[in-house]
Amino acid sequence: MILPKKMKGCGILIIAPRSESPELLIHRYLSTRNSLTEKEYQYYSHLEKGFEGEKKFDELADIYLKDMLFLKDLLLEQNNSHFQMDSLGCSKDGLYLFDIKNFEGDFIIEGDTWKTTTGIEIKNPYHQLTRCLGLLKKYLLERKSNISIKAFLIFINPQFTLYQASPTPEIILPTQLDRFLQKLQMDTSNPGTRYNKLIETILSDKLSHYPNSNIPRYEYSELLKGVFCLECRQVMIPLIGRRGKLVCSECAKMESIESIILRSVKEYKVLFPERKVTTMGMYDWCNGTIGEKTIQRHLQKNFSRSSRGKFSYYIN
């Protein structure tokens, strides 16, 4: 049975830490390797901004909602309809569905239409919340779980302004957020083991990605090869006089070669899951920035080797 536990460095009870979706990771890696069109890059920026907003909410929840148990980044299916939940909080009194929006700028509501003050229409986020809540209720009822659910639309970015909005308890604006969380802190309590069975069911039903994810097409031969800085995404180069480290050619951030090899392997496996991880493969992926023997040594240290000789490859 999967039980809630406190993660290291966190007061909040969570089942698993939030992590980037495969869709976000693929877009991030492709953006670094010069393989996104302008439209694809705009979509990627939207994904990054959304993930940043979710992490900000996590930080606030860790301050105010320590007694609530959280499941994050849940993608479920109900009657052939997919719905995603940024954060699902479990308290003794019921479930709390949080949809996090990291919108920035001035927006206006006209009837059921949401748009920027410059006239660009956007999908109605309140309708999205309502749809998600309805599907979650049906999902739970099918599994004999008649649990109270409260849903909230959280606007996390302090640079967000919404005009002509009628008072709606489910919509939490940036200026209301601290007071909302403080009140929620007083109203919620530790659920204990009440949701253990439901959590197991949800995690077993959780999908890793949408069936028709908006993933760009790409080929290995088209991608820029090399090692790139985690901070500014510029090329990293060997650091003279400092063995075992590379340095960013732009921001001068240093990183150990072992760390770089491990994240290069992760990137390679996310983009090309069908390819085997080999010494020569990683040497080419890093564009010769790191020597073959160094790559081989760290692969042998951190992975299991399958077979021998020139046909050997590495697995977790």
Q: Is the pLDDT of residue 242 over 90?
A: no
Q: Is the pLDDT of residue 217 over 70?
A: yes
202-209: average pLDDT: 90
Percentage of the chain beyond pLDDT 90 is: 84
The closest alpha carbon to 113, from 102, 101, 122, belongs to: 122
Question: Of residues 213 and 152, which shows the higher confidence score?
Answer: 152
Where would I find the beta strands (DSSP E) of the chain?
A: 5-6, 13-14, 69-78, 81-91, 94-101, 105-110, 113-116, 121-122, 149-155, 160-163, 171-172, 236-238, 245-248, 254-256, 304-306, 313-315
Least confident of 11-20, 25-34, 135-144, 157-166: 11-20
Q: Is the pLDDT of residue 6 over 50?
A: no
d(CA 246, CA 225): 16
Q: What is the reported pLDDT for 199?
A: 92
Q: What is the reported pLDDT for 307?
A: 77
What's the number of CA atoms in the CB half-sphere (13 Å) around residue 74? 28
Q: What is the reported pLDDT for 14?
A: 57
d(CA 280, CA 141): 53
d(CA 39, CA 21): 19
60-76: average pLDDT: 93
Average pLDDT, the chain: 91
Percentage of the chain beyond pLDDT 70 is: 94
115: left (phi over 0), alpha (psi -120 to 50) or beta: beta
* Boundaries of every domain in the chain: 5-205, 225-315
pTM: 0.88
Instruction: Give the pairing of strands 171-172 and 236-238.
Output: unpaired
Q: How do residues 143-193 score in pLDDT, each as one tens digit?
A: 999 899 999 999 999 999 999 999 999 999 999 999 999 999 999 999 988
d(CA 277, CA 57): 36
CA angle at residue 246 from 245 to 252, to 5 degrees? 120
Selected from 1.20.1270, 1.10.10, 3.40.50, 2.60.40, the CATH number assigned to the domain covering 225-315 reads 1.10.10
> Which residue shows structure tokens 């204990």?
192
Least confident of 5-9, 30-34, 44-48: 5-9
Sorted by sequence, the CB contacts under 8 Å of residue 39 that are 6+ apart come out as none
Give the CA distances from residue 312 to residues 66, 260, 289, in Å, rounded to whole numbers and listed in that order. Answer: 48, 21, 22
Q: What is the reported pLDDT for 282?
A: 97
Using DSSP's 3-state secondary structure scheme, residue 88 falls into strand
Sorted by sequence, the CB contacts under 8 Å of residue 40 that are 6+ apart come out as 27, 30, 216
Amino acid present at 232 = C
Q: How far apart are the first and last CA of the chain?
A: 25
